[in-house]
Structure 1
């Protein structure tokens, strides 16, 4: 019997009760999520956030003020937060950014109805009993894959929610795609989607699958699923990016994962 098995038996059941209890141990405590836009005004002619952004997620107006922030391109590296002298961009623990429409990931002053609530209602209506997922790595760095693997460990125990990964697309309700969609993986990805029974549900998981991320838009790497498959859920984020600060980022350094 391995040391880790003995350690687990000694600690007892440690499965999180999230999302049933929002105040429970979700495993994401003290993690850094997407930058928050505060009410503070940008400094005139300050272009620091745009200059340090590695994915061109930030756009400024003619005065050098923040005009738009595309969360679909953001990898939560926190460089813009640390570079902002006026506090317009601030750190947050907001990491659940799944939306149904790609446009909902564009920051605006009037976001309207909560996209998260509409998405939850849509999922509950579509899959009441269980959800079977076929995952396709379409050219990732394996950061998202390490997070997906963690979902099946005793801490998260995804099966308790009626969610399962399947090896066959013919038995899948949802196609979960990670990676930038490289030239070599485009045809296998389309073949997987075509083999799935109706209705076709597609989840773009990670910033690479949403927009191409840091490694997208090259001769071999695409810019995500936009224009390739009809995406039902856009879920940005990058588990491989560590912030310059000492706090843990996204969940790639979660202590429960390493245990």
Structure 2
């Protein structure tokens, strides 16, 4: 018997039981999207909006508007807030089906509940083609972790494929640079129907830090029809897994109307 086999038997099972209840998601101590308490906000302050590098926070009359789809989780807003209205959190599970669910305003009604589209035939098996459309490779590092022994994405029936012709879901990272726009569209056109698209990371959702210049777009909207949005810079492996399970109707969507834990 090979020595590495003996080491493996001695170490025991490395794969987490998560997302089953009581399993370790591997994100202890990891900061997520900042939480906002409008009651603690000081009228006319706006310091968090001024320092936000991606304009994810906008100071409006009557309160703040926060676009989590633009948030890079830098925590600068929580550091400068004089009242603690913006505070750190562990809220990293931000996958949504509709872009509008990533936007929160202090005033206005909560959006009505929407029925999730049925993907019953794909619940037990999903094949993903990943396209890097100009990423800094932060998202790619997290994607690689999905196949390590701890997360072991394959146990959930979710696989990455090298060919778009065998893919059900196109997972895109990066703000969609000019150079990658045509290859991205070619990959999408090569996929069989039904086909879906996931914007993974803040760059793919809204352009992120570098979006909107001569070389970069502002994410996937307007380029491809997006079925799943997951902001983060980068989103961690557990967030990616949870978003994929939510997409397959195997987990609930935790964020609606920019409100967490609904």
The two structures share one fold, judged by TM-score above 0.5:
yes
**Cα deviation, residue 78, structure 1:** 0.7
What's 1:78 paired with?
75
Number of residue equivalences: 235
What's 1:34 paired with?
33
Q: Which of 201, 207, 210 matches 2:202? A: 207
Q: Which of 213, 233, 239 matches 1:238? A: 233
Q: Which runs of 5 or more residues in structure 1 are unaligned? A: 241-249, 253-259
Moved over 6 A (4+): 3-7
CA-to-partner distance for each residue in 1:154-205, whole Å, 9 max, x for gaps?
A: 0000000000000010100000000010000000000000000001200000
- Counterparts of 1:15 and 1:124 in 2: how far apart (Å)? 27
Indicate conservation of the 8 Å contact 1:40/1:87, yes or no: no
**Cα deviation, residue 128, structure 1:** 2.2
Does the C-alpha gap of structure 1 residues 8 and 38 become closer, same or farther in structure 2, counting only changes over 3 Å?
Answer: farther
Indicate conservation of the 8 Å contact 1:40/1:86, yes or no: no
What's 2:193 paired with?
198
- Counterparts of 2:211 and 2:157 in 1: how far apart (Å)? 34
- Counterparts of 1:4 and 1:93 in 2: how far apart (Å)? 36
> 2:119 aligned with 1:128, yes or no?
no
**Cα deviation, residue 85, structure 1:** 0.8
Indicate conservation of the 8 Å contact 1:152/1:158, yes or no: yes
Alignment of 1:83-232 (within 5 A): 83-109=80-106, 110-112=109-111, 122=117, 125=120, 127-232=122-227
Over aligned residue pairs, what C-alpha RMSD do you find?
2.5
Indicate conservation of the 8 Å contact 1:16/1:155, yes or no: yes
Q: Which has the higher strand share?
A: 2
- Counterparts of 1:136 and 1:206 in 2: how far apart (Å)? 12
Does the C-alpha gap of structure 1 residues 5 and 91 become closer, same or farther in structure 2, counting only changes over 3 Å?
Answer: farther
**Cα deviation, residue 41, structure 1:** 3.3
Indicate conservation of the 8 Å contact 1:58/1:66, yes or no: no
Does the C-alpha gap of structure 1 residues 215 and 31 become closer, same or farther in structure 2, counting only changes over 3 Å?
Answer: same
SS of residue in 1 equivalent to 2:42:
coil
CA-to-partner distance for each residue in 1:60-112, whole Å, 9 max, x for gaps?
A: 024xx642000000011111011111121111101011111111110135444
Q: Which runs of 5 or more residues in structure 2 are unaligned? A: 239-262
